[in-house]
Amino acid sequence: MMAVRPVELAPQILPTLVGIFFAAQAAPLIALGIGIVLAPLVTVVPWLATTYQVTDQHVRVRSGVLNRKVATARRDRIRSVETTASLVHRVLGLEKVTIGTGSDKESSNVVLTAVGKQYATSLRDYLMPTGTATAAPADGPDVAEPAHVTEVLARFEPRWLRYSPFSILGMAAAAAVFGFGAQFADEFDLYSVVADAGVGLWDRAGDVPVAVIVVVGVVGIVAAGGVLSVLAYVLSYWGFTLSRHDDGTLRMRRGLVTTTSTTLDENRIRGVHLHEPLLMRPLHGARLHAVATGAQKHPLLLPPAPLEVVDHVSVAVSGEGADLRGPVTAHPAAARRRRFTRAVPGALILSVVPIAGWALGWPSLAAALSCVLVLVAGGAALAELRYRNLGHRLTGRSLVIGAPTTARHRNLLHRDGIIGWSVRSTWFQRRQGLVTLVAASAAGLEAYGVVDIDGTDASRLAAAISPTLIEPFLAPDPLPETQNSAVARYSRR
């Protein structure tokens, strides 16, 4: 722990280290004294002040000197155990153990910063509610990992890398590199050097058409983003393995430099969530998350991977994965109109930009009208795509919900995981006889909306899934029947 602690605190103490570095040039003795005092404070003292206890009833960690902190996780509240090993951890044969409870807040997690690798594995098997270990493991190098029957559901393949440029990892990596570069340039006053270099390149490219410069710049940015995406994907998901064990758990292991192993209790999974980004759909790729209870509401089941792998894993986890990408019941035509009334006005507002440019002399009228046409057509196409993604489907065990988004989002919720219903309707929805039926659950987002569904269909859908809960609200009403009177009675009561 003494070796790991400085690495964990590096982002927080980096400004202090920079100050010591510059102070050492002017006053080396003072800097040396500060270093001698600072080193024990960030290494030895936290190690001496941290203790933990594992019993049949709880896991408790005490830490801190001036500000004492006691974190406790009851055994019956443990929902997941995650082990993480950074490069420093791996060199020292240590792992970080994060114990997740049923609370929605990550601050309720209990963390063991650095324990032996084999001990961490044995502790994971002991702490999981379905674990086979009957006694707390003894901390020592001779702790053996218990044998389990393992079914590998998915394993990383190099062909998965083709999906990486179309995920958010590339943008996040590019943003991180840009932010670090900007901070580095500001620290060492490199902005003037970069500006001079840019002016020089512009002067040399004076005879090159602007269109060529723009195309080259865009291609360069896209290529750099693609390379960073692949690098981020490799660092995050290299060696990815999802397996099912005979103790009733799912285990996911991934990472090249920093390895992460997450163990989930299958009894806490209430469904799955499919995400197909718009740019990834032509390549037949998607990512899959579980809908679970506890602090980890959407634990990762699959990174961007082929659809056949996604189907296999979703079937294995939910039992009805084949229906996750199947056809859904379309919502009324009024739902389509709502998609268009939201998209087209936005496109018309953006059309003010090319029209204003034409009024100021650039571009030409034909170019401005072409931009307007492209914006309106693009808005209409996106509206139609959102409507096609909208829908629902009721199966023997689950409810499949399609969200009205550009990227395809499908949520599959087990019927027994739905604990309540509510109906929402805006003024615009009521004018067209539509409502949003919200399924309440203790897992995932905790509220999943079936958007813009007909009022009568909403009451029938809720009654089909939760008859004992909904039927009392659908009793005969002396008032005249209307298109959505059932939902109106349900809402009033």
* pLDDT tens profile 183-207: 666 655 665 666 666 666 666 666 6
Contact 357, 396 (CB under 8 A): no
pTM of full prediction above 0.75 = yes
Contact 437, 450 (CB under 8 A): yes
Q: What is the reported pLDDT for 200?
A: 67
* Omega of the bond leading into 363 within 30 degrees of 0 (cis): yes
Assign residue 361 a region (left: φ > 0; alpha: ψ between -120 and 50; beta: otherwise). Answer: left
pLDDT band at 252 (very low <50, low <70, confident <90, very high): very high
C-alpha distances out from residue 273 to 101, 151, 250, 289, 340, Å:
22, 22, 16, 5, 26
Segment 370-385 mean pLDDT: 93
* pLDDT tens profile 306-351: 999 999 999 999 877 556 888 999 999 999 999 999 898 888 898 8
Q: What share of the chain has pLDDT > 90, as a percent?
A: 37
pLDDT band at 43 (very low <50, low <70, confident <90, very high): low
Residues 6 or more apart in contact with residue 13 via CB below 8 angstroms: 6, 38, 42
Burial call 73-110: b when 16+ CB within 10 Å, e when fewer: bebebbbbbbbbbbebbeebebbbbbbbbbeeeeebbb
Could you give the CA distance from residue 249 to residue 242 in angstroms, rounded to a whole number?
Answer: 11
| Helical residues (DSSP H) of 93-167, grouped into ranges | 117-127
The number of C-alpha atoms within 13 Å of 50 and in the hemisphere containing its C-beta is 16
Q: What is the reported pLDDT for 23?
A: 57
pLDDT band at 419 (very low <50, low <70, confident <90, very high): very high
pLDDT surpassing 70 at residue 479: no
Beta bridge partners of 447: 440
Q: What is the reported pLDDT for 387?
A: 97
Average pLDDT over the chain, rounded to whole? 81
C-alpha distances out from residue 294 to 128, 267, 407, Å:
13, 12, 27
Q: What is the reported pLDDT for 215?
A: 82
Contact 168, 300 (CB under 8 A): no
Q: What share of the chain has pLDDT > 70, as a percent?
A: 72
Could you give the CA distance from residue 420 to residue 272 in angstroms, rounded to a whole number?
Answer: 19
Beta bridge partners of 89: none
Residue 90 C-alpha from the chain's centroid: 26
Highest mean pLDDT (candidates 70-84, 97-111, 266-280, 361-375): 266-280
Which two structure tokens, joined as six digits, stand for 104? 């929605």
* pLDDT tens profile 8-36: 555 555 555 566 555 555 566 666 666 66
Q: What is the reported pLDDT for 141?
A: 47
Residues 6 or more apart in contact with residue 399 via CB below 8 angstroms: 392, 393, 412, 413, 415, 418, 439, 461, 465
Beta bridge partners of 408: 276
Q: Which of 177-181, 235-239, 415-419 shows the lowest mean pLDDT across its residues?
A: 177-181
Which two structure tokens, joined as six digits, stand for 452? 């813009």
